[in-house]
């Protein structure tokens, strides 16, 4: 072992891959980028629904129907599930805590499928007539 | 492993010094020595080089001539890399070339070189490294006694000995280095390592595990 003939161990040094230095190198032509021109640049994109210039599906088919911006959407809770709530009061906080609705700011409507045993004070956005009956029959209250 | 101790007149002192096997008798790892030497030489590079890109060369803000109709190539700046007086295409930036090696790798490198030197019988241990006076003549007579005149030497000392340094600094191919700061590069870049008992003890303590 001399200073002049120190060598790295066999296989520890990789030869550098020289890209774009002629076709015989194996990395000529597209230089490993898949295509030439715009597609080989960074940040190149195509529109998501582009079909190669063919009229895309979403333009080939006619328009149909309409979208109601004023539609009210409710999250539904049936009273058979209400026994899972641990608090006395049924409102958005206690329903989220029990996992019966997803969001605190949802519109909630209680429906009357099934039965309930506990007495609750119910304070939500909407409630069906049959649900109201069953809640009061179980000794609960409905606050508007 | 026991090493013979010589006196400054070149005769055997009759006593021996214990050199730890974990320092002086390991299987040399050439790759690790290579890495360590490479790292040291790389760290010596100043990296103070700089050239200007087309953005840094002064001038060139205005389009040199209009886009079409002149028969020449399109040109947007007089400082384009393909123009005379233009910037460098891949300009040099000042940078740090140093390579970080794990402490254990650097230690193994030093152990490897020391063990290799032992195998070549290239470590000479004196009872004490000293010269009578800070004179080059004194140093040369010491080398003559030991039969080392003209060889490329590393003198490993246990402390900074000013007399020894002054006596040896005008002799060709001699490096005087403290044992506690010798690198793998220092240790391999010589024909013979001349050292003393105290320095061997320092290496024992510093490099054994």
CATH of the domain at B150: 3.40.1370.10
Query: What's the domain count of chain B?
Result: 1
Interface check A3 vs B, CB under 8 A: yes
Whether B67 maps to a domain, the answer reads no
Q: Are residues A78 and A137 in the same domain?
A: yes
Cβ neighbours of residue B178 closer than 8 Å, sequence gap 6 or more: B156, B157, B158, B159, B160
pLDDT for position B13: 86
pLDDT for position A144: 64
Q: Which helix (H) or strand (E) holds A126?
A: strand A126-127
Interval A90-104 mean pLDDT:
89
Higher model confidence: residue B207 or residue B209?
B207
Interface check A117 vs B, CB under 8 A: no
User: Do residues B186 and B116 make contact, with C-beta atoms less than 8 angstroms apart?
Assistant: no
Whether B51 maps to a domain, the answer reads no
Give helix B30-44 / helix B103-119 axis angle, nearest 10°. 120
Interface check B35 vs A, CB under 8 A: yes
The domain containing residue B178 runs over which residues? Answer: 2-29+101-207
Query: What's the domain count of chain A?
Result: 2
Interface check A9 vs B, CB under 8 A: yes
User: Do residues B203 and B114 make contact, with C-beta atoms less than 8 angstroms apart?
Assistant: yes
Please judge whether A8 and B37 are an interchain contact, meaning their C-beta atoms are less than 8 angstroms apart: no
Nearest to B204 by CA among B93, B125, B99, B100: B125
Please judge whether A9 and B31 are an interchain contact, meaning their C-beta atoms are less than 8 angstroms apart: yes
Q: How many CB pairs under 8 A join A and B?
A: 26
User: Do residues B91 and B53 make contact, with C-beta atoms less than 8 angstroms apart?
Assistant: yes
Nearest to A12 among B31, B37, B116 (CB): B31
ipTM: 0.72
Nearest to A82 by CA among A140, A12, A10: A140
Nearest to B166 by CA among B121, B131, B114: B131
Please judge whether A9 and B113 are an interchain contact, meaning their C-beta atoms are less than 8 angstroms apart: no
Judging by DSSP bridges, how do beta strands B123-126 and A121-122 pair with one another?
unpaired
Residue of A3, A7, A13 to mutate, interface with B, max B Cβ within 10 Å: A3
pLDDT for position B61: 92
| Angle ∠(B166,B172,B175) on CA atoms, nearest 5 | 60
Closest-CA residue in chain B for A9? B31
User: pLDDT, tens digit, for every residue of B149-172?
Assistant: 989 999 999 999 999 999 999 999
Task: Quote the CA–CA distance of B37 and B73 in Å, as a whole number.
Answer: 50
């Amino acid at each position: 072992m001399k200073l002049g003939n120190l060598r790295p161990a066999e296989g520890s040094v990789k030869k550098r891959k020289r890209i774009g230095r002629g076709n015989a190198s194996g990395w000529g032509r597209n230089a490993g980028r898949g295509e030439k021109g715009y597609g080989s640049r960074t940040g190149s994109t195509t529109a998501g629904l582009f079909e190669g210039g063919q009229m895309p599906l979403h333009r080939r088919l006619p328009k149909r129907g309409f979208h109601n911006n004023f539609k009210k959407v409710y999250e539904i809770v049936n009273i058979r599930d209400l026994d899972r709530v641990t608090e006395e009061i049924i409102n958005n906080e206690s329903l989220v805590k029990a996992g019966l609705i997803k969001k605190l700011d949802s519109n909630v409507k209680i429906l009357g499928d099934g039965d309930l045993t506990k007495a609750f004070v119910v304070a939500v956005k909407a409630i069906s007539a049959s649900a109201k009956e069953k809640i009061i029959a179980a000794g609960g209250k409905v606050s508007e | 492993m026991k090493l013979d101790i010589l006196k400054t007149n070149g005769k055997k002192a009759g006593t021996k010094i214990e050199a730890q096997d974990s320092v002086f008798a390991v299987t040399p790892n050439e790759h690790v020595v290579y890495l360590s030497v490479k790292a040291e030489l790389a760290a010596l590079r100043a990296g103070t080089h700089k050239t200007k890109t087309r953005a840094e060369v002064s001038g060139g803000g205005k389009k040199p001539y209009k886009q079409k109709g002149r028969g020449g190539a399109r040109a947007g700046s007089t400082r384009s890399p393909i123009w005379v007086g233009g910037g460098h295409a891949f300009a040099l930036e000042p940078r740090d070339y140093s390579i970080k090696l794990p402490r254990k790798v650097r230690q193994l490198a030093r152990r490897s070189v020391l063990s290799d030197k032992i195998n070549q019988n290239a470590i000479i241990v004196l009872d004490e490294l000293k010269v009578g006076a800070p004179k080059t003549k004194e140093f040369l007579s010491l080398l003559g006694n030991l039969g080392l005149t003209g060889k490329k030497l590393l003198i490993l000392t246990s402390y900074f000995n000013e007399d020894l340094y002054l006596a040896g600094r005008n002799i060709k191919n001699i490096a005087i280095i403290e044992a506690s700061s010798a690198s793998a590069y220092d240790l391999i870049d010589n024909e013979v390592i001349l050292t003393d008992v105290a320095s061997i003890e320092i290496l024992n303590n510093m490099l054994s595990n």
